[in-house]
Structure 1
C-alpha cells in the first residue's frame, strides 16, 4: 500500500436498513442488460466544499438514509442465483454498509494530488469522508449488475431529498420486464452484430491511469462556433467525443491501419417511443460502434469528426436497443443466460451523460444536472462529481458529463494506458481550451 493510499482512514462501520421492513420472500429479477454488465463495477464520488451534515453528526444522516432506503428494497438486498443460475436480488433487508472516514489532507489538496486509484478508496459501499479544514466526499460503489450511473445518481439524489424533507423528484421504478425479449425477436441489426463481435474480443490487462478535464461553458461555446460550418448541430458531447477520439488516435505510436473505431455508450431511457422514467432502476445503456477511415482522423479536422459522431448518435433507432436485448436473451443455454463479457472495451469507449441534464422534477423549482442536484442542504451542491467504471481494459474510456457550472461547461474523465495519459495532458489542441485538470497525479 502506497503512502498516498493511507490518507483515507476508516473510523466506523455500520449497516443501515430501511425504515419499512421488506415483505419476506421478495425477489427482484435482473434484466438481461443488467446481467450483461457483470464484469464491471460502478464508483461515484460527490465532493462538497461545506459539510452538509452538522458537526459530522451521522444521526440525522442515518435517519434520512433509513427512510430513503424504504423506497429501494433491492439496494438493501443481496445478490444470489435463482434456480436457473441467473442473478437475482433477494430483497431480505440485509442492509447497506455505511463507512465513516477522515482524509489526511484538505479538499483542494486532494483534488490536486490524488489519482483515480486513490479516489476509489472513497467509495466503499456508502462512505462519508471528511477532509481536514472542512469539506466532505460522499462515495458510493456497487456492482454494475445493480445499477448504471443514472440509477446510482438518483439513489443519492433521493437520499438528499428525504434529508431535506422534500418529496423524491424522480421516484424509483423497478420493472425489469420493461426490458425483456419481444414475441418476434430481431437479432439482425448493426447493434446485435456488434455485441456478437464484442463478446468474442479479448484484451490484455494494462496499467491504466485517469485524468479529469473541466472545460468552461465559454470555451465550449467558442469551440462549437469553430466547428459550426462542418457540424451545425453539434452538441458538447459531439465536440468533446470528437476532440478526445482524434487526439488519442494521433498520440498513439502504433498505426491503426485502414479503420479507426469508437464505441459510443448512451442512455436510452428517454429515446424510446414509450420512454422509461428517469427513475428506472437498472441498466439502460446502449453501446454502438462508430468506425471510419483512418484518413478521416489523421487529417485532424475536428468539425468533420464531430459531424461523424453527431450523425452516428442521431441515427441510432429504437430497434437497435431492442435487438440487443433480443440477442442477449438468445444466448441462453436452456434458461440460463450466457456469461457476461466486457462492455467497456476493448475498443476505445466514449460514454455520453448528456441525458443527466434532465428537466426538473415535479417538485423541483429549477433544472440542473442530476448529479449536481444531490444537495443535502439547500443550495449546497457538489463542487465536483467523479464516476469510475471498474474492470476497464483495452484502449480506454472517455466519460463526458455535465459540470457544476451552468451552461455548456463539461467535465471529461479519461482513462487510458498510463503512458498515453501523460501525453494527453500535454496535448496542445486540448490545452488550448484551457481546461482545469483534477485528480491527476503526474
Structure 2
C-alpha cells in the first residue's frame, strides 16, 4: 500500500495560549556549568522535536477524568526541574565557541493550546512524520546549515494541546547540546512520575552532569581519521539532488515514502546476506545496509564517487566508557561506512554489511576523546552532508513508555522524518506495527521524484510502503 507522507488531515485550527516560563519549583544552585566538547559541536546546535499523542481518560473511574493535562504536566515539569536544574538555564558562548550553561533558573518555555480535531481525525500515526506536527510544537528556526540559534534561549520548549475527544498532544523541542535522546527520556520519566501523583521525584538514577569525561585532551591529539568531518572524494563539491544551493534546484520535487521491515522482511534480508553473516547481523545493520545500497544506486552517482553511510552509535553500556549512572548529556559519536558508488553497487548486500559492521565496531572511549580533540582544533565543525546518508536508530529510546497518567501514548516519537533542512540526507529508524499487528522497523525516505521511482523498484521485491 502506498501513502504519501504529505497527506494532512482536514484544515485544523490550534489556538495557543500565552507562552510562559516554567522555573524550578524550589531553589536551585546558581552556577555556570560547561558542556562537553562533544555537546557543543555544530551538529548538536539544534532542537530535537518529539510528539506524544494520548487518548482521553478511559472511563468514569479514572482519576484523570476531567483533569487538565496541561496543568498537570506544567506543575510536574516545575518539580522535575529541581534535580535537573541546568535544563532551566541558558547557553552562553565563550572563547573558541565553547558553550556553557548559566544556571539561573530562567525556565522552560511552556504553552497550552486547544485544537478543533480529535485523535481519530489525525489518521495514520504509526510512525513519523506526525500529521501537521508544526501545529503542535513551538516553531523552529533552523537555518541553511542544519543548525539553529541556541544561545540565550530556553533549552526546552513544551506545548500541550487539548483535543476535542478529550485526548491531548504533548509536543516538545529539546536543545540537543544539553541532552541526547536517552538523556531527555531520563528527565521526562521523572515528569511522568510526578504527573501520576508521586510526592517527590522517583529518581531511578540521580542525574549526573559528568561532562568532563568528554573534554578534549591537553594538548588535543585526534587519533582517528574521522571521515564524518571530511568531504568524500570524487564527484562535484556539492550534491544538488539532495542539498539544493540554487532556487532552480531547490524547487525540485522531493517525494517522501515510509517503508516497513517486519519479521518477513528481516528474514528475507538474512537469506540475501552471505551465509557466514546471516547469524551475526543485527536488524539495524541489515536494514541500513540494504537501504544504503538501493539509495546509492537510485541517485545515480558516478562509479568513482565516494559515498557514505553515517549512523550514531551510543556509548552507554560500553565497558570502556566510564559514564556515571544518571548521565544525561550526549554520549554518542557518528560512525561512518565509506566506499565508492561503483564498489558498493557491485559488492551487493554482503559488501555493504561488512562495511556497516566494521564502522559500528569502532566506537571506543578513545574514539570519543578523539572527536572532542578534533572539535577544539577545528572550531567545532558540522559533520559532512555530501553524498552521505545519515540515520539515527531511535527504536529503543523508550518514547512509548511516557505515561503522564493517561496511559501509554497512541503515537510517540520524532515529529519529523529527520532533522535539519535537507530531508533527503537524514532519516530515523522507529518501531511500529503494520496492519497485521506485526512489529517492525519503519524507515522514512525522501528522494527526488525520479530517484524515488528507482528506489521503489529496489524495495518492492522485499517490502511494502506504509
**TM-score using structure 1 length:** 0.79
Q: In 1, distance between residues paired with 2:207 and 2:393?
A: 19
Q: 2:66 aligns with which of 36, 55, 64?
A: 55
Residue 413 of structure 2 corresponds to 385
Stretches (4+) displaced over 6 A: 2-5, 404-408
Paired residues of 2:38 and 2:215 also in contact (CA < 8 A): no
Q: In 1, distance between residues paired with 2:450 and 2:162?
A: 33
Residue 350 of structure 1 corresponds to 390
Q: Answer yes or no: is 1:375 the counterpart of 2:412.
A: no
Question: How many residues are treated as equivalent by the alignment?
Answer: 411
Residue 280 of structure 1 corresponds to 327
Distance 1:108 1:345, change over 3 A: farther
Distance 1:189 1:420, change over 3 A: farther
Q: Answer yes or no: is 1:311 the counterpart of 2:358.
A: yes
Gaps of 5+ in 1: 332-337, 358-368, 438-442
Q: In 1, distance between residues paired with 2:270 and 2:93?
A: 49
Paired residues of 2:333 and 2:363 also in contact (CA < 8 A): no
Paired residues of 2:298 and 2:451 also in contact (CA < 8 A): no
Paired residues of 1:5 and 1:118 also in contact (CA < 8 A): no
Alignment of 1:235-314 (within 5 A): 235-255=282-302, 257-271=304-318, 273-277=320-324, 279-299=326-346, 301-314=348-361
1:284 Cα offset (Å): 2.1
Residue 135 of structure 2 corresponds to 121
Gaps of 5+ in 2: 1-7, 59-63, 139-156
Residue 29 of structure 1 corresponds to 34
- After superposition, what is the alpha-carbon deviation per residue over 1:252-275, rounded to whole angstroms, capped at 9, x for unaligned? 245353432222222223335134
Paired residues of 2:160 and 2:169 also in contact (CA < 8 A): yes
Residue 4 of structure 2 corresponds to none
Q: In 2, distance between residues paired with 1:134 and 1:423?
A: 41
Q: Secondary structure at the match of 1:105?
A: coil
Q: Secondary structure at the match of 2:404?
A: coil
Which deviates more, 245-254 or 217-226?
217-226
Q: In 2, distance between residues paired with 1:22 and 1:5?
A: 44
Paired residues of 1:231 and 1:304 also in contact (CA < 8 A): no
- After superposition, what is the alpha-carbon deviation per residue over 1:318-353, rounded to whole angstroms, capped at 9, x for unaligned? 32222111111234xxxxxx2x43337244333343
Residue 175 of structure 1 corresponds to 210
